[in-house]
Chains A and B, each alone.
Chain A
Amino acid sequence: MIRLSGRFRSALIIGGQGIRSRKLRTFLSMISLFLGVLAVVTVQAGAETAKTLRLADLELHIGKDGTRQMYIPSMPDAMDAALTTVAGKADAVGVMGYQAIIGEPNVVPINQGAAPFDNTDGGYYGPPMQMDCNPMTGECRPIKDEQAAQPTRGQAVELVLQGLTGDIRQFRPFRPVAGNWLDFSGDPSYSPRLVLNKEAAKGFTRYQIPAEMRVEGATANPTPRIVGVVDDGNSQPTAYVRVDEMRNWMPKTTANQMYGPGMQLLFAPTAGETEALVVRKITALGVSRDMLHVETINARKDIAEELAIIRWIFLGMAGLVLLIGVAGILNVGLATVGERVEEFALRRAVGTPRSLLAGIVLAETLLTGLLTAAAAIGLGVVAIDVGAGLFGSRVPQLQDLTFPWQAGVAGVIAGLVAGLLGGLIPAIRAARIPIATVMRA
């Protein structure tokens, strides 16, 4: 123990004297290594940031990791049972999907099929266009008569309407944009309160839409009230509503159609009892257990797999840049050892073990690697800070972006590996310097 610490202290003194007398060299090796370490840090920071952003997106879109998703078959009794079971539960939410058109009656909505507003023609959202082809000339043109028979396009938008039994934001953390979120306390209103997503809100601000809503299968046309706008990560115009405010307008029979509204239940990871209760009630109605498809959301794993290949490709390229830095350290290291041949021979002559000399050379390059890593990480932290400040107002996801610790770890590892690779050969050289040859008079 005493011998070890004596060695260590000797190494500190000798290494310190060496670095102090060659500050410029240390600085030059740092420069040669800097780009490589910075590349590794950047790739890691980029990959981690992409993962975080993508995860935030998926959380909005699909749900937080660990959430259990259950699809209820479109059978009215089963859906009724599910709805009544989760109603008022804090850890589970039922979602019923409807197609709804808001606006002028008897017109084709601007965005047929609830297409995004910037993509209303074409794409897979619209109805298939029909072509009339002349068998003689082979010439084709769209059929006009069909359109003439249909009601013309008018001031109406089509939405996906999501009827909720409770606050879905515990599973999908929607970001508020304007107004309020739905209030689930109190009695349902006869004028359904809607919260639009950003795409739906775009339709309402762009077109003059009368406030009359037609929902497939509804008995009458309710007049909705829009209470707020959220960002739900969805590009399809969507509105959220209390399901009981919708069902006021629905005869029970509509849900009987095979192509009626679909229903999805979301459970918190802790809601095992509620989930089991739903399963028991529905299977009691004679529905097979196999028809209740349940899955646990694990977006983190999916994203990691999705990004892994890209990350490795970029890390490979960063590794090449790092290799150039290693060559730089190696070059400077060999030159330094060449310059210090007499010093090392002398130190060996006075009894310094060769392992200690090799260790000192290696420690100097490792320290160079660490200092470089610190510089690269520092730059990364500042860059992300500045970037988040500059673009945070435009891209909300960037607002509370921080430097991912994984990038810091990668930088330190890259610096140490480069120091090790670049210092190993000089260290071996230093240990092999023969005393007799150097000191001979």
Chain B
Amino acid sequence: MMNFSYTRATSVGEAIQAVVQDPQARFIAGGTNLVDLMKYNVERPGRLVDITRLPLDRIEETPGGGLKIGALVPNSDLAYDERIERDYPLLSSAILAGASAQLRNAATTGGNLLQRTRCYYFYDVGTPCNKREPGSGCPARTGVNRIHAILGASDACIATHPSDMCVALAALGATVHVEGPDGERTIPFSDFHRLPGSEPEKDNTLSRGEIVTAVELPKPRFGKNHTYLKLRDRLSYAFALVSVAAAIELDGDVIGEARLALGGVAHKPWRDEAAEASLKGKLPSSSAFEEAGDIVLRNAKGHGHNDFKIELARRAIARALGQAAAGTPQVQANKSIN
């Protein structure tokens, strides 16, 4: 870790200014990811701008009937908020599938969106990595890539976005509110994170100095038929090898609308609208679920250690859609999968 200076921002404008003025400055919220990366010398900010005292810690109802979640709402508070538990149980479940209770207490909504990949090489400054040091190479492609992407990767980078919460937000069609030196704007969730392409150093579409102020959820839907299914290397406290957020709205016996997003498989939460469309109008059945899985994975590509994720994802999608259709979502505290 390197020495740094520390500023506590008292307003959003002040925080933005502090980061715009100092190219070495970074926002810090819960610190659960940034401080780790600083200890590994992956992130070397000269100044930390602490945003935890900004008034962004509320969950408010929106005129459209949705909820606006302040960027500083801790992951635990969000997961256990009555309105979230009642109206957006998929989101609550996805958050509780992640990290540990202690980490969720410290981690914030904005920080969760902006957490960085867990690629082993990205974390090890003794190795090359295009994301950490553009142009230095990607040893993961031919190296240890058990936890890497099977979808949307590029020659430059095969890292994944590690968040669970974001997979649910992608499925639910959230919107990200940001504010920057040029004012405020909103970004649809699927446009917030990006694929690595030739610029893997960019995880998302924020510009320098932009701060996430809130995440907005649309009017509640999918309250009954949903699930978040996470598969990992131990039964708790490990990042997803593959996770699936599935949500269905039944129209009589048939599927009216479906949402399907995957975690642990790509550089961003992977939502597949073609697969969702394939389910529309169908009776819930294993063949329909398997077909949706085939669509999601039509261009999937393994890199050796992670080849198994393709088959695992296929099975997990079918299982998750089954859970959602039956109205028996996975309970995160229950380690046997229904």
A and B form one complex: no
